[in-house]
Chains A and B, each alone.
Chain A
Amino acid sequence: MKGNKKTFETAVHGVFLILGLVTVCCVLLITVYLIISGIPAMHEIGLIEFLFGTTWASTAAEPSYGILPFILTSVYGTAGAIVIGVPIGFMTAVYLAKVAPPKVKTLMESAVSLLAGIPSVVYGLVGMLVLVPGIRKMFHVPDGASLLAAIIVLAIMILPSIIKVSVTALEAVPKEYEDASLALGATPVETYFKVSVPAAKSGIAAAVVLGVGRAIGEAMAVMMVSGNAANMPSLFQSVRFLTTAVASEMSYSGGLQREALFSIALVLFLFIMLINATLHFFLKRNKEG
């Protein structure tokens, strides 16, 4: 009887161990699949030509597979979204964490959660019908579907992550720090920005990195507003991101073209892994204080 019970418990332990390892297996599965399917095209096209070629003409008679335009567009687009989104998100976070009356805070926090919950296609749709014509009229360009439109949409989409993580970090600042600063004669606003913010800097850095990850990985909303032509990035031109490059040709691609799309996904994945590692670093440092 006792032996039976012991085997049973060991079996249960084993089952839970397997369930625990499912996540690890999923990560391995994704990594292995991307590497296996991404390497052949890179090899065939030539790594240098693939990464630094400036023309992407996958359906031309003499196809050319250079993804530099996509890489640069993703980098510029993300940088632009950060430049616009971080100040807005950061200031809102300081307001919410330190200044806002409790009722306003609750209300605004639910508004921010709502912003996080809105599906990306809805952002894309509104961008398509508000931003794109707006940019066309305001800057007198032939088509408003451009890098600028994508940057604005991404800036709005990363706001919730930046606000939420920054608020958490700012709220974790020990009250003694702020009290000491106030006692030394600093005004409340000076205390928030010169004491609380520096004390929460790891958390805020994590918020920014999280925003970078969100922006670089977004596909659908960007696809709907960026015009989707494989140009080198320029603010008012139609552009294609790493994510949209994969999404836009997948449905009709074949052969080397299809393999090249997998290689693009691998490049995107490497960017994301780098960002994840940075995020992990900042979060860990934030936890350690």
Chain B
Amino acid sequence: MLNGKLSRKRRGYIGLMRALMYAFAALTCALVLFLIAYVLVKGVPNISWELLSTSPSYLTERIGILPDILNTVYIVIATLLIVLPLGVGAAIYLTEYAKNKRVVAVIEYAAETLSGIPSIIYGLVGMLFFCQFLGMQTSLLAGALTLVIMNLPTIMRTTQESLKTVPQSYREGAFGLGAGKWRVIRTVVLPGCVDGIITGCILSVGRILGESAALLFTAGFAHALNGIFEGLTSAGATLTVALYVYAKEQGEFGAAFAIAAILMGLTLVINLAAALTQRYFRRKKAL
């Protein structure tokens, strides 16, 4: 046995480090399992058809989260619609057009900075700029625009990474056939980075679903039931904001846990979707 020849000090060190490694790795696993189990056990029994399909009413003391679900869907759609062209365009500029290294460095540093800014600051600036300066009031659209800025770096980065995997020879081939730059981008480069765009979308949806601090002051916490166009111009709580309001301000822990369980389920689905798309595209590229 190798260990038999080692000094006591070395054996002690190895034993200690190994024990710590296993213990802490197990602790991390236990934490994840506990969180999932606790939220689901506490939340799932509180999910009922009535909760999902009605809006809250003070008269009958009914709690319904249908408006919050719809608001979340609206805000996801609006954010993605705006952030996609911006993020993909920026990524295309960086990989296809930019020749000046300094410009690239500045844009990349800006994106890095954006992804480090805490959401509460986004909320504050969003409130000052979109709600007050641009006069949008507290509305889902103002919230969505705030989230656009937050998610810009994500879409940019994933698109950029997949653009880098489009072989240079494809571009050269297209140029050689006489295509202009825009045509090459449209027909060769863009189809090649679909995987990055989809991954970016999935990650962004996850972030939008989980966001609360940035939306509290930009999108507000009303529970009115609206259609999409009406909804975007009026205030509304997303699921996370509704969870916060129910738990912290109203002490309705049943509803809060029901929302938490729904969010947990969505997080699981999104993580799974991200992993599956990544695997799918990797396999497709390998062929």
Contacts and interface: CB of A to CB of B under 8 A. Distances in A.
Interface string B63-97: 00000000000000000000001100110111011
A190 B270 contact: no
Contact of B213 (A29, A219, A275): A219
Contacts of B103: 20
A200 B107 CA distance: 27
A269 B86 contact: no
B118 A218 contact: yes
Contacts of A273: 113
A95 B19 CA distance: 11
A57 interface: no
A269 B10 contact: no
Given A9-B180, A19-B90, A129-B253, A217 B113 contact: no
Contacts of B29: 108, 111
Contacts, number: 247
Contacts of B141: none
B13 interface: yes
Contacts of B35: 115, 118, 122, 126
Main secondary structure of the interface of B (DSSP, over half): helix
A276 B113 contact: yes
B275 A119 contact: no
B26 to A, nearest CB: 9
Interface stretch (A39-47, A58-66, A244-252): A244-252
Contact of B116 (A89, A91, A279): A279
Given A20-B98, A99-B21, A108 B28 contact: yes
Q: Of A9, A121, A163, which is in contact with the most chain B CB atoms at under 10 Å from its CB?
A: A121
A95 B153 contact: no
Interface stretch (A30-38, A133-141, A173-181, A229-237): A30-38
Nearest to A107: B29
Nearest to B156: A23
Q: Of B21, B38, B260, B271, which is in contact with the most chain A CB atoms at under 10 Å from its CB?
A: B21
A204 B279 CA distance: 27
Interface residues of A, number: 81
B198 to A, nearest CB: 17
B113 A100 contact: no
A100 B28 CA distance: 14
B257 A121 contact: no
Contact of B109 (A19, A117, A280): A280
Contact of B129 (A29, A88, A125, A250): A29
Nearest to A271: B118
A210 B126 CA distance: 24
Contacts of B264: 118, 122
B206 interface: yes
Interface string A153-195: 0001001000100000000000000000000000101101100
A26 B149 contact: yes
Interface in B118-146: 118-125, 127-129
The 4 closest A-B pairs by CB, nearest first: A217-B118, A19-B89, A119-B210, A20-B93
6 contacts: A24-B110, A187-B2, A219-B213, A243-B118, A246-B124, A262-B124
Interface of A: 5, 8-9, 12-13, 15-17, 19-24, 26-27, 29-30, 33-34, 37, 87-89, 91-92, 94-96, 99-100, 108, 110-115, 117-122, 124-126, 128-130, 156, 159, 163, 187, 189-190, 192-193, 213, 216-220, 223-224, 243, 246-247, 250-251, 262, 265, 268-269, 272-273, 275-276, 279-280
Interface of B: 2-3, 6, 10, 13-14, 17-18, 20-25, 27-29, 31-33, 35-36, 38-39, 42, 85-86, 89-90, 92-94, 96-98, 103, 106-107, 109-114, 116-125, 127-129, 149, 152-153, 156, 180-182, 206, 209-213, 216-217, 240-241, 243-244, 247-248, 253, 256-257, 260, 263-264, 267-268, 270-271, 274-275
